[in-house]
Amino acid sequence: MITIPYLTALTTYFSYGLLFAFGQLRDLFRRIIDRWNSSNLQGYAPICLGLEDFYIRRLYLRIQDCFGRPIASAPDAWFDVVERYSNDHNKTLKRTDKIRRCLNLGSYNYLGFAAADEYCTPRAIESLKKFSASTCSSRVDGGTTTLHAELDECVAKFVGKPAALVFGMGYVTNSAIIPVLIGKGGLILSDSLNHSSIVNGARGSGATIRVFQHNTPSHLEKVLREQIAEGQPRTHRPWKKIIVVVEGIYSMEGELCKLPEIVAVCKKYKAYVYLDEAHSIGAVGKTGRGVCELLGVDTADVDIMMGTFTKSFGSCGGYIAGSKQLIQYLKYTCPAHLYGTSISPPAAQQILSAIKVLLGEDGSSRGAQKLARIRENSNFFRSELQKMGFEVLGDNDSPVMPIMLYNPSKIPAFSRECLKQNVAVVVVGFPATPLLLSRARICISASHTREDLARALEVISQVGDLVGIKYFPAAPKKEHQEDKMVKLD
């Protein structure tokens, strides 16, 4: 539940209204001026219909320099950001040759595998020499190497399911699997804040989609009961299949899913559970096995577990884990497996080595250290930010922490001021988030040291004062009293 000061809500609406009004005014003048210069495209249909691109042209392009910043090094704790300039008020941006060394608070680098690692990188280079950069074929044709077979088994064992299947791209894993699992006559119940890959897959499947309130098992139960009682639309026949899709950690909120309650509801009504662990696999849980381990849910209760390797393993690609029959079925039907290129061999080797490091099979305890460090870092950073008076979302132990900005003008202000002080943050606004609730999303990594975090806190505090986002009163400091006591001696 997000708490907004009432005045901030009003000023945010007013700012959006003003931006919208100015955008419409500029569009009006553009239309008038374009009438004067007639174009020779009579009879052609317009590329964009009506208002479709209004948001991009009039709101996004004004602050384009805060998004899509090119980087010139690996996304480690510190990285190089390329500076850009614009001569026409951000409509086009040109790169310069200058780079800035910035603290990276935006990459999904939860365990620090994004940079060169002493165990993973030599092995990835070796597999690059042995298997080359791409398999140049889909899994069924000639794209299954020994690495792929080993990776499938390794992922299944790591996640705790009988079998798994790995794909070359994370987004495609969701959007190609869901249409194969369910079709017309089925029901998909999806959390209101699910990722767009799930929404795409659900729309592509042809099943009926119903949305339940974010992370609210009671509302899920209510919707389930209603839908089971009504049956399919118009014919009212019973549903062929019901799948409930939830995510492990919601990337925009930093919240953990209420998995035990949701699994209990699904068991009661005999619905399948599809868990998308894109952000939680490898990052939470005592041994990094994700949300099921953290919340104590038996993996046999979750029917289909999906995840990606982009965030914690420093690679690319996605996986699906489930029963042997499910994976066998997917191998026959899923287009991503039959037609899509299989995952690149060095990427596969990186995942294998990363999992080995996590489990301690490389002979060192670096995996356990990384997991402990990310937990400590996240909890420390979150509690410090909250003490300073920021509104930070997310549960404890979650490495994703959004800081609420609300006002659309604070989005570029926060981003640019932080960049001036060499801290790179990711800011998100409408329509990726609800209208009022724009935020700056911080992703903590195991490779951030205490000094890095202290510097980040200092910069964010200064910028927060400048931009005015400390919506809560700061907690009083206790150290001053102790100093005084020492001096009295």
Q: If binding is defined by CB under 8 A, does position 14 make contact with other proteins? A: yes
Could you give phi then psi for residue 376, rounded to 5 degrees?
-60, -45
Q: If binding is defined by CB under 8 A, does position 2 make contact with other proteins? A: yes
Nearer to other proteins, 23 or 185 (CB): 23
Nearer to other proteins, 3 or 87 (CB): 3
Span from 52-60, 148-156, 258-266, 394-402 in contact with other proteins (CB under 8 A): 52-60
CB of 34 to other proteins, least distance (A): 11
Peptide bond into 399 cis (omega under 30): no
Total site size for other proteins, rule CB under 8 A: 43
Q: If binding is defined by CB under 8 A, does position 487 make contact with other proteins? A: no
Round to whole Å and give the CA distance between 314 and 70: 18
Round to whole Å and give the CA distance between 312 and 102: 21
Span from 27-35, 179-187, 363-371, 451-459 in contact with other proteins (CB under 8 A): 27-35
The answer to whether the beta carbons of residues 389 and 404 sit under 8 Å apart is no
Q: If binding is defined by CB under 8 A, does position 22 make contact with other proteins? A: no
Span from 146-154, 158-166, 207-215, 239-247 in contact with other proteins (CB under 8 A): 207-215
Q: How far is CA 90 from CA 25, 59, 152, 387, in A?
A: 19, 11, 46, 36
CB of 263 to other proteins, least distance (A): 21
- Ramachandran bin of 465, using left for φ above 0, alpha for ψ from -120 to 50, beta for the remaining angles: alpha
Q: If binding is defined by CB under 8 A, does position 436 make contact with other proteins? A: yes
CB of 281 to other proteins, least distance (A): 24
Residues 6+ apart with CB under 8 A from 449: 77
Q: If binding is defined by CB under 8 A, does position 37 make contact with other proteins? A: no
Span from 115-123, 191-199, 258-266, 284-292 in contact with other proteins (CB under 8 A): 191-199
Q: What is the DSSP secondary structure assignment for residue 476, as one 8-state letter? A: P
Q: What angle do CA 439, 220, 274 make, to 5 degrees?
A: 80
Interaction mask 292-321, other proteins, x per CB under 8 A: ------------------------------
Q: What is the DSSP secondary structure assignment for residue 187, as one 8-state letter? A: E
Nearer to other proteins, 142 or 434 (CB): 434
Q: If binding is defined by CB under 8 A, does position 4 make contact with other proteins? A: yes
- Candidates 26, 51, 126, 325; binder of other proteins (CB under 8 A) is 51
Could you give phi then psi for residue 459, rounded to 5 degrees?
-65, -45
Which helix or strand (DSSP H or E) is residue 443 part of?
Answer: strand 439-443
Q: How many CB atoms lie within 10 A of CB 154?
A: 18
Measured in whole angstroms, how far is the alpha carbon of residue 229 from the centre of its chain? 35
CB of 213 to other proteins, least distance (A): 6
Q: If binding is defined by CB under 8 A, does position 30 make contact with other proteins? A: no
Interface with other proteins in residues 461-480 (CB under 8 A): 472-473, 475
Q: If binding is defined by CB under 8 A, does position 212 make contact with other proteins? A: yes
Interaction mask 136-175, other proteins, x per CB under 8 A: ----------------------------------------
Q: If binding is defined by CB under 8 A, does position 245 make contact with other proteins? A: no
Round to whole Å and give the CA distance between 475 and 456: 19
Nearer to other proteins, 255 or 277 (CB): 255
Round to whole Å and give the CA distance between 54 and 147: 47
Which class for 361: exposed (0-12), middle (13-18), buried (19 or more C-beta within 10 A)? exposed
Span from 44-52, 68-76, 365-373, 445-453 in contact with other proteins (CB under 8 A): 44-52
Q: If binding is defined by CB under 8 A, does position 54 make contact with other proteins? A: yes
Interface with other proteins in residues 404-433 (CB under 8 A): 430-431
Nearer to other proteins, 84 or 203 (CB): 203
Residues 6+ apart with CB under 8 A from 49: none
Round to whole Å and give the CA distance between 68 and 57: 16
The answer to whether the beta carbons of residues 391 and 402 sit under 8 Å apart is no
Nearest to 207, CA basis, from 242, 245, 246: 242
Nearer to other proteins, 24 or 462 (CB): 24
The answer to whether the beta carbons of residues 120 and 314 sit under 8 Å apart is yes
The binding site for other proteins (CB under 8 A) comprises 1-7, 9-10, 13-14, 17, 24-25, 28, 31-32, 35, 48-56, 192-193, 196, 211-214, 430-431, 434-437, 472-473, 475
